[in-house]
Structure 1
């Protein structure tokens, strides 16, 4: 029983550190006007989680716990997306907010589809 929590928690630690590292990279590059880091991690996360669920059998629960629930669950962030969207709106950056919203919504759906298609290619579920 405890093993499940350790697996998910370890994946969560890895995912949150990856997200933090990506955010710091965008800050270092001076890309702070638009929430590129959050957009990137959310689109990547959508692709990866769809890939995992289409590629890995539910019989391999521990792999899904680590990667899907832990790592991708902490890597992606709806709460940061919401806060950044609100900041753009309250900062009167309506076009940027609209662009961020549309790319996040439809981009997420597209990346889910692409990840699913990529996971179903080639071999059967592992």
Structure 2
């Protein structure tokens, strides 16, 4: 095994710190939004905003903003639980809105 492949599989301490710091801030931001908005609107908001941020920053600060902040800020699993708690028509509209708005947000973020 070459040293180049070994160094790629082991993250540098600065990368770990960036993911940790971004993750802490993302989790705190998501908790703040969850406290401020009713279910499922808070989840929809964080997922759309997170998708926009990923589109805008994934090539600029992938560890801090991409993996760290957006990874902790967005929440696919919470969306799934919320879908199960909604009536069928509401769940279909919420799921479709999440996908359409998320894709549009990524596309818009990539243009920034």
Which TM bucket (shorter chain)? 0.7 to 0.9
Contact 2:19-2:69 at 8 Å conserved across structures? yes
1:32-47 superposed matches below 5 A: 32=39, 35-47=40-52
How far does residue 113 in structure 1 lie from its aligned partner after superposition? 0.7
Equivalent residue for 2:91, pick from 78, 90, 97:
97
Q: Does 1:4 align with 2:15?
A: yes
Paired residues, what number? 101
Distance 2:30 2:95 in 1: 19
2:78 pairs with 77, 80, 91, which one? 80
Superposed CA offset, 1:50-91 (max 9, x none)? 01135x2xxxxxx32111110011100111011111121xxx
Q: Does 1:117 align with 2:108?
A: no
Q: Deviations over 1:28-68 (max 9, x none)?
A: xxx34xx00000000000011101135x2xxxxxx321111
- Aligned partner of residue 82 in structure 2, secondary structure: helix
**Higher RCO (C-alpha 8 Å, min separation 6):** 1
Match of 1:21 in 2: 32
Query: Deviations 1:3-22 (Å, cap 9, x if unpaired)?
Result: 32222111101100100000
Cα displacement (A) at 1:95: 1.5
Tell which deviates more after alignment, 36-45 or 78-87. 78-87
**What is the RMSD computed on CA atoms of the aligned residues?**
1.3
